[in-house]
Chains A and B, each alone.
Chain A
């Protein structure tokens, strides 16, 4: 197991996207505390994996955040927190953190994203120099040193195992939607594919 480098179509080549999935994470409260304390060593997107349905779902949120980063229109302090709120189809930022981010004593499986990109000096980030030197190896080392959980391959199959569909349906307003209901109940895969399409559209359209 190691950190995966995500290849997302049409992302600038100097923006690197790394990801890892940890199951049964024991120290969610510690990780959450680092985020709240704005510990610069923990500039990650920590996502509660139970709200994710697939890699495509995840990619949609990452793509959106990278797009706002390059446009200079981030809605939160950094691209990592923008990935977390990027999952949301609504504009309520604190609710988005609650829903898609970590919840101590509730979150079990954690999806971590790390973006490494050339920061302009005018961005005035205190960690910009150390950031430049981050490699997949150093990131992986840091993650495994601080996350008490089981590294798991980030596949669609693994993600599907922990998807909480009741939550997904609620958060993305998919209950009783005609576009889903018209698909035969027996065709579970078809219904899920349709829901994935609506989830991705919801992410893409927020704020329009």
Chain B
């Protein structure tokens, strides 16, 4: 199904081919060691105060989300200044000026989650104090021509927003778009509870025996929950590709694992256990990997139905996965198998193409 006719040029079409080629190359070779990202902490959902100055401020202010918004609504900067003169110094040292949109009042102050090469991601609330949201802000790049920069940023964010909406309509699990001002450099999307898949997998692996012998001995049952997760990831990617979108930056950081909503049926699940695992500890562990896979970060997404582009998406993830989760590398085949199962015939030819792409990747790394 094609995009509506009024879709403007994709940002990549605004760039010179050379620049674009370079960007892609750099992405493929570097992203798995996150050289351009500055994730606050590996367990970036815990908001450890020591590592997050903004959070310290939150603490000092003691703003509980339940407090009546009318009383607490203030300019974020005002509040900070009033509450903690020391903290504002801290903030100026470690932090960046907020985008204008976030200087307007909200029930709780925005929290900086990540600062990447391209932009920043804030956790804040939208519409109402009880609706958490992720606000992505791409500040102007001082080294780029201002008019070109503004045009690129706008086109990119607009495209990202459109891809999200399209996926959502097609039933691919992605955040809903709440609001955007692409010209001002931001989009606000639904906040996905849980944690990045990367964090969850590492947490899960961390609880397993580290000894290589034991690792090998671990039977299929024990790895069951991770295998199941790999299959859900494969199915989610197949769903994405089916809508005619390739992601462009598939990593386990760009997928969230959203724990199942607490409901009365959880009680039953608990007693039955997952995969019939007996001990309480094993049940807890199995639960760690439960939930829906939600794909995020469509900043480098593209419209494509080609096997080549789809295979490249999988290859990027395969490489990233191997370096982020070396101990689970051998489980990647389950992801691919499920991708194929979900995608049918087309999946078969994408996987075929993946072999070519791998080969070229190997050659390139031998030369480079």
Contacts and interface: CB of A to CB of B under 8 A. Distances in A.
Contacts of A67: 179, 181
A182 B74 CA distance: 42
Given A178-B169, A179-B169, A197-B190, A9 B128 contact: yes
B131 interface: yes
A143 interface: no
Interface string A1-12: 000010111111
Nearest to A67: B181
Q: Give the dominant DSSP class at B's interface.
A: mixed
B73 A205 contact: no
Contacts of A200: 176-178
Interface in A122-181: 177-179, 181
A198 interface: yes
A13 B179 contact: no
Contacts of A178: 169-171
Interface in B131-145: 131
Contacts of A63: 127, 179
B324 interface: no
Contacts of B57: none
A58 to B, nearest CB: 9
Nearest to B70: A7
B101 interface: yes
Given A9-B106, A13-B75, A205 B177 contact: yes
Nearest to A12: B104
A60 B183 CA distance: 18
Interface string A82-95: 00000000000000
B126 interface: yes
Contacts of A10: 101-102, 104-106, 124, 126
B168 A197 contact: yes
B235 interface: no
A59 interface: yes
B170 to A, nearest CB: 5
Contact of B73 (A7, A56, A202, A208): A7
B245 to A, nearest CB: 14
Contacts of B358: none
Interface residues of A, number: 29
A32 B126 CA distance: 32
A198 B168 contact: yes
B128 A59 contact: yes
A3 B107 CA distance: 21
B226 interface: no
Which of A63, A182, A205 has the most B CB atoms < 10 Å from its CB? A205
A56 B133 CA distance: 13
Interface in B176-206: 176-184, 190
Nearest to A66: B104
Contact of A8 (B127, B162, B168, B190): B127
Contact of B176 (A8, A59, A181, A201): A201
A50 B86 CA distance: 51
B361 interface: no
Contacts of B168: 179, 197-198, 201
B301 interface: no
A205 B165 contact: yes
A168 B129 CA distance: 26
A151 to B, nearest CB: 21
A55 B128 contact: yes
A13 B161 contact: no
A184 interface: no
22 contacts: A7-B128, A8-B128, A9-B105, A9-B107, A9-B124, A9-B125, A10-B106, A10-B126, A11-B104, A55-B127, A56-B128, A60-B127, A60-B179, A63-B179, A67-B179, A178-B170, A179-B169, A179-B170, A198-B176, A200-B178, A204-B161, A208-B182
Interface of A: 5, 7-13, 55-56, 59-60, 63-64, 67, 71, 177-179, 181-182, 197-198, 200-202, 204-205, 208
Interface of B: 69-70, 73-75, 101-102, 104-107, 124-129, 131, 158, 161-162, 164-165, 168-172, 176-184, 190
Given A197-B168, A200-B177, A208-B182, 14 more contacts: A8-B127, A9-B106, A10-B102, A11-B105, A56-B128, A59-B127, A60-B127, A179-B168, A179-B171, A179-B172, A198-B165, A205-B162, A205-B177, A208-B158
Question: What are the 9 A-B residue pairs with the smallest beta carbon separation, nearest first?
Answer: A197-B176, A59-B127, A179-B171, A178-B171, A201-B177, A10-B104, A9-B106, A208-B158, A201-B165
